[in-house]
Amino acid sequence: HSAMMTQLQATPLRTLALSGRRGAGAAARPTAGSVRCSAAARSYSITLLPGDGIGPEVVAVAKDVLSVAGSKEGVELRFREMLMGGAALDAAGVPLPDETLAAARASDAILLGAIGGYKWDNNEKHLKPETGLLNIRAGLGVFANLRPATVLPQLVDASTLKKEVAEGVDIMVVRELTGGIYFGKPRGFGTNDKGEETGFNTEIYSAAEIDRIARVAFEVARKRGGKLCSVDKANVLEASMLWRKRVTAIASEFPDVELSHMYVDNAAMQLVRNPKQFDTIVTNNIFGDILSDEASMITGSIGMLPSASVGESGPGLFEPIHGSAPDIAGQDKANPLATILSAAMLLKYGLGVESAAKRIEAAVTETLDNGFRTGDIYSPGTNYVGREIECRCFCQINN
Ligand code: IPM
Ligand code: MG
């Protein structure tokens, strides 16, 4: 597997894990093997996909944060905004226009806001915003989705779990993102032999698909607490039986990582019973979808959590874990921190500009230390703000 996957390391926020892209942007793209020249020469192209609901609000903030943090480090970022999701459906009639995928592929990294909304909920499947998201994941080949759930000490009171249960939780969910039941065939609607309507999907994994996500997860675990828990439903599902067999086989390449297996129902329970038992979790697409939402809630707010999706090569896709929250869009209520932290991940793991990423992470920490909170992370005694939290971050980055 690629160099992109090999330099996995822990970060101050204990987020994830991948090295930067090898090449700089068009203005300074080095030839293979060349050494990157002075910081001032670095220029990268970023595709912005604001999407729907609160997506445009939080991406606008993250874009400004990226520009400021980049320029502080002598890095030029060129942005190109493209349509995706409901916004693309309204403007172009499809959830992922060809130009959007082409622009994303040609750029150095992609920052996505969120997609979806009531307006398009009853669309046919190929005209749903979610289909655009699945297609861009597949189109970019970003099979590894890393979703950290870290309880920050400043926010421990925002967790719905007891303080002693939530305190110190630091989990990384490594979710397989381009396979399994989300993409498996056959799928569709039909009729059974009683003439009743049916709907069906296929949970399918090849050994190669399991091996590559397992290797990413072992690498991540190795740089974190050295513990990997593989979650499956191998007591019932064939796809899970193969999953367990392959993950167990790959474990021999990582003798320094302690591997355990857990059924998904038990894992869902253990996550709220004793989340501190987990370090790194690896699981399939659908279990990862569900468990990462559950894990995120331990931290107090899904509005805090970034994510990164990467493949063997090509640009990574960085996005907050939360959705488009149409109910609070345009009301100065959205928490932009998950997208800001996704921007930090983009800089560090997508572009390899770690110094700029550190500026952003420090600014977020400082802003929280100073007591500023959006509604989703508010607790009594803190300072309730809306968009102002963004200004606080800027001040910190500019310091
Ligand atoms: C996520 C979301 C998506 C998914 C939806 C919007 C298609 O829930 O990124 O977790 O299921 O993967
Ligand atoms: Mg989800």
Place of tokens 């979808």: 289
Assess whether 279 carries a catalytic annotation. Answer: no
Do the domains spanning 41-143+302-398 and 156-300 agree at the CATH topology level?
Answer: yes
pLDDT at 388: 81
Ligand that lies nearest to the alpha carbon of residue 137, given by its number in the listed order: 1
CA of 321 to the centre of ligand 2 (A): 7
What atom in ligand 1 is closest to the CA of residue 130?
Answer: 7
Q: Omega before 380 cis (within 30°)?
A: no
Please choose from 177, 289, 290, 297 the residue to mutate so as to test ligand 1's pocket, defined by most ligand atoms within 8 A of CB. 289
Which DSSP helix (H) or strand (E) runs through 78? strand 76-81
What are 23's two structure tokens? 């090449």
Place of tokens 């167990």: 248
Neighbour-count burial of 393, counting CB atoms closer than 10 A to its CB (0-12 exposed, 13-18 middle, 19+ buried): buried
CA of 322 to the centre of ligand 1 (A): 9
Query: What values do phi and psi take at 81, rounded to 5?
Result: -90, 135
pLDDT at 33: 40
Pocket test for ligand 1, best of 130, 176, 201, 284 (most atoms within 8 A of CB): 130
**Nearest residue (CA) to ligand 1, atom 5:** 130
Atom of ligand 1 nearest to the CA of 293: 10
Q: Give φ, ψ of 126 to 5 degrees.
A: -70, -10
Residues 6 or more apart whose Cβ sits within 8 Å of residue 91: 83
Q: Around Cβ 125, how many Cβ atoms within 10 Å?
A: 11
Strands 144-150 and 109-114, by their bridges, are unpaired
> Cα 266 to the chain's mean position, in Å?
24
Whole-number Å distance, alpha carbon 39 to ligand 1 midpoint, is 36
CA 289 to ligand 1 centroid distance, Å? 6
Write down the CATH number for the domain with range 156-300.
3.40.718.10
Exposure string for 34-67, b = 16+ CB within 10 A, e = fewer: eeeeeeeebbbbbbbbbbbbbbbbbbbbbbbbbb
- Angle between the N-to-C axes of helices 285-298 and 264-273, in degrees from 0 to 180, rounded to the nearest 10: 10
Alpha helices (H) in the chain, listed in sequence order = 55-72, 86-92, 98-106, 129-140, 163-166, 207-223, 238-250, 264-273, 285-298, 337-345, 354-369, 388-398
Integer Cα distance of 399 and 369 in angstroms: 16
Phi (first) and psi of residue 230, to 5 degrees: -95, 125
Is 52 annotated in the active site? no
Distance of alpha carbon 170 from alpha carbon 212, whole angstroms: 24
Judge contact between 76 and 66, C-beta under 8 A. Answer: no
Mark the residues whose beta carbon lies below 5 A from ion ligand 2. Answer: 289
Given 63, 128, 233, 348, which residue is catalytic?
233
pLDDT at 13: 29
Structure-token pair, residue 238:
């064939």
d(CA 18, CA 345): 9
pLDDT digits (tens, 9 = 90+) for 279-295: 999 999 999 999 999 99
Q: How far is residue 360's CA from residue 143's CA, in Å, rounded to a whole number? A: 26
> What is the rounded distance in angstroms from the CA atom of residue 19 to the CA atom of residue 299?
26
If one looks up domain 41-143+302-398 in CATH, what number appears? 3.40.718.10
Tokens, residue 77: 């970022």
pLDDT (tens digit per residue) in 84-103 = 999 999 999 999 999 999 99
| Residue 198 pLDDT | 98
How many angstroms does the Cα of residue 32 sit away from the middle of ligand 2? 37
Please tell me the predicted confidence (pLDDT) of residue 28.
Answer: 41
193 labelled catalytic: no
- What is the predicted pLDDT for the residue at 22? 41
Distance 80 CA to ligand 2 centre (A): 26
Give the per-residue pLDDT at 389: 85
Low-confidence ranges of the chain (pLDDT < 70): 1-41
Q: Where are the domains of the chain?
A: 41-143+302-398, 156-300
For residue 384, indicate whether it is catalytic. no
Residue 379 confidence (pLDDT) = 85
**Angle at CA of residue 227, ends 222 and 230, nearest 5°:** 110
Q: Which residues line ligand 1 (CB under 6 A)?
A: 116, 130, 133-134, 289
Whose alpha carbon is nearest atom 12 of ligand 1? 289
Among the bound ligands, the one closest to the CA of 138: 1
Q: Which DSSP category does 347 fall into? A: I
Q: Give helix 354-369 / helix 388-398 axis angle, nearest 10°.
A: 130
Q: For residues 7 and 2, what is the distance between their CA atoms, to the nearest angstrom?
A: 10
pLDDT value at residue 287: 98
